[in-house]
Chain A
Amino acid sequence: MKTAIAAQNSSSETLIDKHFGKCSYFHIYDDESQTTEVIDNPARGIKGCKGDVIVNELIAKNVNAVIAGDFGTKVQQLLNQGQIQMIIHPDTRVSVSEIIELLNHKNK
Chain B
Amino acid sequence: MSPRPKNNRTVFDPPKFKGYKPFGYYAGENEPVFLFFEEYAALKLCDYELMTQSQASQVMNISRPTFTRLYESARRKIALALAEARPIEVEKGRAYFSNDWYNCRACNIFFTAPGIELSSVRCPLCQSKNLEEITTN
Contact = CB atoms under 8 A, between A and B. Distances in A.
Interface of A: 3, 65, 70-74, 76-77, 80, 83-91, 99, 102-103, 105-106
B98 A80 contact: yes
A65 B109 contact: no
What does DSSP make chain B's interface, helix, strand, loop or mixed? loop
A90 B114 contact: no
Interface residues of B, number: 21
B93 interface: no
B99 A105 contact: no
A70 B111 CA distance: 11
Contacts of A103: 124-125
- Per CB-CB distance, the 4 closest pairs between chain A and chain B, nearest first, are A88-B110, A83-B114, A102-B125, A87-B111
A89 B114 contact: no
